[in-house]
Structure 1
Amino acid sequence: MKFRTIFSFVLGGMVMTAFAQGGYQDGVDYYNAERFDKAKTILEKTLNDPSTKKAVSYFYLGSLELDNNNVAAASENFNKGVQADPAYGYNYVGLGQIALKNGNKKDAENYFKQALEGNKKDASVMAAIARAYFNVDPTLYAKEIEKNIANAMKVSKNKEAQVYVLQGDMAKASDIGQAAGFYEQAMVYDEQAGNVNPEAYVKYANLYNKVNPDFAIGKLVELNEKLPTSALAQSELAEKYYDGNQFTKAAEQYGKYIKNPNHFQGDEQRYSGLLYFGKKYQESLDVANQVLAADPNNEYMQRMVMLNKAALKDFAGAEEAAQKLFSHANAKFTATDYSTYGDILGELGRPQEAIEAYVKAYEMNPEKNKQMLAEISSMYNDLENDQKAVEYMQKFVDAGDATLNDYFILSNRYKNLGLSLPEGSPERAEAANNGIKNIDLAIEGAANKGPLYRNKATLLMIRDGAENTTPELIDTYKAMIAAYDEDPANKEKYADAYKMAYTRMGSYYMQQGDNAQAREYFQKVLEMDPENAPVKEVMKKL
C-alpha cells in the first residue's frame, strides 16, 4: 500500500467546515495567505461573533467574491462593511477596485479618496489602494501603483509591512529572490512595530518550500513560536511537514492544530490517516469516530475505521465498517480497500468472498498488485480448488519477479492438481510435467536441494504411475540422498524420505536382476529401521 495513494482517498472528501467560531482574524490570515476556501468558511462562521469587527470581515468576504468575479456579491459586502464602520477605509478600496474593473477610473479615484478620509497617514490603506490597481491591471496602472507605494513609503518612513508584502507579491512571478527579500522586510518592520505578520512568513516559506523545505519549515516553526494560537501558522507547519514526508512530525503538529477552534474536518481526516500510518491504530480510530459522529456518512472515515479495526484484529467491526464503505454507490474505491476487505473476510472464515475481494484488488492495478495473485492461489489451495490454485500461481510466476520459493510453491500446486486427476490421464501427466518443469527451476538455484528432489520424485510417480519405477525416478532419489547427505543431521530429520528412497531403489535393482545392488539398498533401510518386517522378508529371499 502506497502512503500517498491511499492518503488521497482519506482526504478526498475534505470539506471546508470549521468546527467552531475561534475568531475572524484566522479568516483574515487565511485570505492574506491565499487560502481562500478556508478564509471564506471562517469569515462566514464568525461574522456574527461579538468580537468580530464586521467591517473587516465584510471587506475580506467582498474580496473573496471579487476574486471569483462575483461583482454584485462583492459590492454588497463592501457596502455592508461601509455601513458597519465608515471609518474603516478598506471597503472603499474594494468598491474602488470594482469601479476600476468596470472601467470607471474616476469613480475608483473617488472611492480611494474616501478610503483615505480620516486615514491620510495610514500607509496600509495606501498599500491596499496600490494592490487594487495591481489586481485589475498591473501594466495599465503601473504609474498609479508606483505612486501609491511611494506615498505609503513616505508616510511610514519606509516601514509599512503591507507595502513590502505587495512588492513581494508583484516580484515573485519573475524574481523569487527579490520577492523573498520583500517578505523578509515585511516581517522585520512589523515586528519592530510590535506585530507579527503571518502572511509574510507563510508566503516566504512557500517560496522556499520546493528548493529548501527544511528552511521553509524552520521559518514556520518560528511563526508558531510567535503566534502559538494562529490557525494559519499551525496548519501551514503541519502541511509542510506532510509535504516533506516528515509524517511523524506532521502527525504531532496536526494533533496540536485540530485543537484550534478554527480547524477543519479535512484536518481531522488527515490526522486520522497520519496516525494510522504511524501505527497508532486506536488513536486513529478515535479520530475517525469523532468525525463520523458529526458526519455519519463520511466514506473516508469509514475507510479509516475499516483499516484501523483490521489492524487491531477486530475483524467483525472491520467488516461492518467495510459494508458501510462499499455502500457508497458513486465512491471511488482503492485496491487497498479490496485487499483489506479480503484479509478481513479471510479472518472471518469466508474464503470464497475473500477471493472475490482479492481479485478486484488485483484487477484495479495488476502491475502493482502482482503479489495478490499468489495470495489468491493460496486461498484456492486452502479450498482444495486445485485448478484455480494452479491458475493464479501460474499467473503470478508469469508476471515476473518470481523467487525460487515461488517456483517450488507452483510445483506443489501442480502436484496437488495431478493427484486430483484420473490416473493415466493426459491431464494428470500434463500437470505433473508442469510441476517437474517448475521444480527443476527451483532446484537450479536452491541451497537445500533435498526437499525439492523429494517433491520431484513424487511428481514423477504422479506422471508415470506409482507402481512404475523409472530410471529418472532412481536418478532423482540418488540426487535427493546426495543433497541430504551434505548435512549428517538430515539422516534423522528426513528419515522417512531416506527409507522411501532406499526401499524404492532396492526394489528397482531387484527387478533389474541386480541382487547385489538391491541388497545394498535394503540393508540401508534395515540400518535405519531394523524391525522393518517387509524388508527383512525380502532380504531372506535375496
Structure 2
Amino acid sequence: MKISKKKLFSTLALSYFCVCGVSAQGMEKGIEYFRAELFDAAKMYFYQHEHTVGVGEGQAELYFYLGESHAATEQTDSAIFYYQKAVAADPEYSYAYIAEGKLALQKQDSQSAQKLFARATRSDKKNPQIYTSVAQAYIAVKEYALAEEALSKARKVDRKFSGIFVAEGDALMQQGKVGEACSRYENAILYDKNDKVAYLKEARVYKNIEPQLSLDILDRLIQVDPDYIPAYAEIGEINYARGYYVDAINAYAKFIEIPGVPLKHQINYASLLYFTKEYDKSLEQIKIILVHEPDNVVMHRLQAYNNYELKNYELGLQEIEHFFAITPEDQVITLDFITYGRLLEKNKKADLAVMNLKKALTLDDSKLEIYKEIAIAYSTLGNYVETVSFYKQYFAKDENAPLGDIFNAGIASYNAANQQGSNEEPIALDSTLRLEYLNLADDFFSQVVERSPDTYLGYFWRARCQSAIDLDTSLGLAKPYYDEAVEKMEANNADNRRDKDLIEAYSYLGYYFYLNGDMDSSKDRWRKILEKDPDNAVAKQALDGLK
C-alpha cells in the first residue's frame, strides 16, 4: 500500500512518537514544538541543544526527534541520518528502530519493518508505549489488522494505558468514524487526565465542525498545562477562522516569536494585527514574511491596506499597484479594488479612483461603502450629477444611512442644480431639471432637520434651496428656514464661527423685509451685519438707501 510522505509524517507527527515517555531534561520545549507541528522551530531547538545533553538515551532521544522533524518536512535522507545517530548513541533506544520501520513501511517494505519493530520491542517488552508506537506506524498505512496485533500486546502489559485508546481513536478517525474516535480519546483522558496528546487530538477533530467544543477541550488542556504551546497554536487558528481576532492574537502571542514558526502562522498573525488595527506591527510582520515569500500576494495586499490606514497614501498606492501586477485576476477581491480606488483618490487621481471602484461594484454590488466612495470621487471631480446618482443608489440600499452622508448628498444635489449637468453644460435657471435637483436637495436637508432638529445646518441649507427656487425672493420661500437657522446660530456663536452664515441669513432677511415694506426690520438685519463685519459694502449700501 503506497502512501505519500507528507500524509504519513503528518499523521505520525502527533500519533505515536509524540507520546514518548520521560524526555531528556531540557528538551520538553522542543518536543512541544514538534507536537504543535512547528517542525522548523523544533529542528532549530534541537540543533541548539545537540551538544548540551549527555550521551546515551538522552542523546538518542534528541537525535530521534531531529529525525522526526526532518521526516515531517519530507527530508528523508536527513531523517535517516539522525535515526541512525540515535541508534549509535543508544543501541537500546527502541523508538529509533520504530522510526526506521516507519520508513520501511513508506517504501512498502513490510518485511524489514517487521524486523525493526521486533528489534524495538525486544529490549523493552514491558512498555505498552512501544507497542502502541508500532501500532500507530501500521495505522498510518491503513494496516489495521497488524496495528491491532500490536495493540493487543500493549493491553497485555497495561490495558488502561492511555496511548492504546489514542491509537484506537486514530484508526477510527482514519476510517471516518468520528464519534467513535472521540470516545476513544475521551477514554484516554479518563485513564490519564494528563495525556495532553489525547486532548489535542480530540480538539482537532472538532476544530472545523464544532469549533466551540474544540475550544472547550483546549481549555481543559490548558488547565493541565498552562504553557502548552500546541494548545495555543490550535486556539489561535480556531479563533482566527471564527473572526475572534483579539482572542486569536492572544493565543498566537504565546508562540509567534519562536524561531522557525511556520509561515502559515506568521501570515495569520500579520492578518490578525491588521484586523485589530495594529497596522505598524502588521507591517513589521509582513516584512519578515516577504523575505521568505517575496511574491506572497496576500502579504502584498495587506501591506497596501496597512499603509492606507496609516495614511501613507503614496507608498500604499505603489504597493497596491505592485499587488495588481503580480496577482492573477481570479485572486483579486472586492476590497482590493476598493483600496486601490481610495488610494487613487487620496493621490488626487479621482478619475482612476472611480474606474476601480466601479470594478469593485461588478464583483459585489451589495457593499454600501462602494457607492459612497464613488459618490465622493465624483464630487472631487466636480461631477455632481453622478455624485447624486451614486448617493441615491447608496440610500436605496441603506435606509439608515448616516446623517453626514445624507447632508453631503444634499450639498451635491444643490451643486448639481446650480453648476452643471451630466453633459457638463450649465443647467438653465428656469429648467425643470434644475428644479428637480433643488427639490431633491431640499428633501435631503429636511431629513437632516428631522434627525437633528437642534442644529442649524439643515434649516440653513433648506433656506438656500428655497432661495434658489424663489430667485427674486417674491414668495419669501426661504424666510422661515433662515429664521430657524438664525435662532440656532445666535444661541451658539460665542466663538464667532458662524458669522459668515449669519451674514448670509441677515442679508436675505434684510432684502425680504425691504421687498415687503418692513423697513425697520430690514434696517435691523443690515445693522446686525455691520456689527459682525463693519466694512460690509452691501450692508452699508442698503442702509444708505433706506435713509
Q: Does TM-score exceed 0.5, indicating one fold?
A: yes
For residues 61-87 of structure 1, the C-alpha deviation after alignment (integer angstroms, 9 at most, x for no partner) is 99999xxxxxxx99xx99x98999697
> Are 2:504 and 1:504 equivalent residues in the alignment?
no
Match of 2:28 in 1: none
Show the counterpart of 2:189: 184
Q: Is the CA contact 1:302–1:321 (under 8 Å) kept in the aligned structure 2?
A: yes
| 1:426 alignment partner in structure 2 | 432
Give the match's secondary structure for 2:301.
helix
CA offsets per residue over residues 459-496 of structure 1, 9 Å max, x none?
Answer: 334345x33x343xx14312431464367526984532
Q: Could you list the per-position Cα deviations for residues 173-226 of structure 1 after superposition, in whole angstroms to 9, with x for gaps in the alignment? A: 2357733432315655xx7xxxxx65324114446753262551351474463x
2:131 to 99, 115, 126: 126
Taking the aligned partners of 2:105 and 2:303, their CA distance within structure 1 comes to 52
Partners of 1:213 and 1:449 lie apart in 2 by 50
**Per the alignment, do residues 436 and 83 of structure 1 end up closer, same or farther by CA in structure 2, a change over 3 Å counting?**
closer
2:462 to 456, 466, 487: 456
SS of 1:402's equivalent in the other structure is: coil
Q: Which residue of structure 1 lines up, in the alignment, with residue 299 of structure 2?
A: 301
CA distance in 1, matches of 2:456, 2:163: 80
Q: Are the equivalent residues in 1 in contact too, given 2:271–2:282 (CA < 8 A)?
A: yes
SS where residue 348 of structure 2 aligns?
Answer: coil
Alignment match, 2:53 = none
Matched-pair identity in %: 19
Higher relative contact order (CA 8 A, sep 6+): 1
Equivalent position amino acid for 1:326 in 2: F
Q: Secondary structure at the match of 1:422?
A: coil
Question: How far apart are residue 412 of structure 1 and its match?
Answer: 1.6
| Partner amino acid, structure 2, of 1:528 | K
1:54-203 map, 5 Å:
88-89=97-98, 92=101, 116=121, 120-128=125-133, 130-131=135-136, 141=145, 148-155=150-157, 157-158=158-159, 160-169=161-170, 173-175=178-180, 178-185=183-190, 187-188=192-193, 198-203=196-201
SS in structure 2 at match of 1:436:
helix
Name the CA shift for 1:251/1:27 in 2 (closer, same or farther; >3 Å): farther
Partner of 2:386: 388
User: 1:98 & 1:297 partners in 2: Cα distance?
Assistant: 35
Give the C-alpha shift of residue 147 in structure 1.
5.8
Query: Corresponding residue for 1:12?
Result: none
2:524 is matched by which residue type in structure 1? K
User: Aligned residue for 1:310?
Assistant: 308
Q: Does 1:364 align with 2:363?
A: yes
Match in the other structure for 2:528: 528
Residues 480-491 of structure 1 correspond to what in structure 2 (within 5 A)?
480-482=482-484, 484-485=486-487, 488-489=490-491
Tell me how large the CA RMSD over aligned residues is: 4.8
Residues 101 and 114 in structure 2, CA contact (< 8 A), matched pair in contact too: no
User: Do the aligned partners of residues 177 and 411 (structure 1) sit closer, same or farther apart at CA in structure 2, a change above 3 Å counting?
Assistant: same
In the alignment, structure 1 residue 439 sits paired with structure 2 residue 445: yes
Flag structure 2 segments of 5+ consecutive residues without an equivalent: 1-5, 19-32, 51-58, 420-426
Counterpart of 1:394, as a letter, is K
| Pairing partner for 2:278 from 270, 280, 287 | 280
> 2:332 maps to which residue?
333
Q: What secondary structure does 2:282 align onto?
A: helix
Query: What amino acid is aligned across from residue 182 of structure 1 in structure 2?
Result: N
Give the superposition deviation at 1:136. Answer: 7.2
Counterparts of 2:359 and 2:342, CA distance in 1 = 13
- State the distance in 2 between where 1:536 and 1:410 align: 38
How many Å apart are 1:520 and its aligned residue? Answer: 4.7
1:316 alignment partner, SS class:
helix
Which amino acid is the alignment partner of residue 154 of structure 2?
A
Alignment partner of 2:372 out of 367, 371, 374: 374
1:247 aligns with 2:245: yes
Question: 2:358 is matched by which residue type in structure 1?
Answer: V
In the TM superposition, residue 416 of structure 1 has moved relative to its aligned partner by: 0.8
Please give the alpha-carbon distance, in whole angstroms, between the structure 2 residues aligned to 1:43 and 1:292. 19
Q: Supply the distance in 1 between the matched residues of 2:483 and 2:38 (Cα, whole angstroms).
A: 79
Q: Residues of 2 paired with 1:289 and 1:109: CA distance?
A: 49
Question: Is the alpha carbon distance of 1:433 and 1:476 closer, same or farther for their aligned partners in structure 2, counting shifts above 3 Å?
Answer: same
Runs of 5+ unmatched residues, structure 1: 1-16, 18-24, 66-72, 192-196, 510-514
TM-score, length-normalised on structure 2?
0.69
Aligned pair count? Answer: 476
Change (3 A) 1:529 1:204: closer
| One-letter code aligned to 1:364 | L
Question: One-letter code of the match for 1:328?
Answer: I
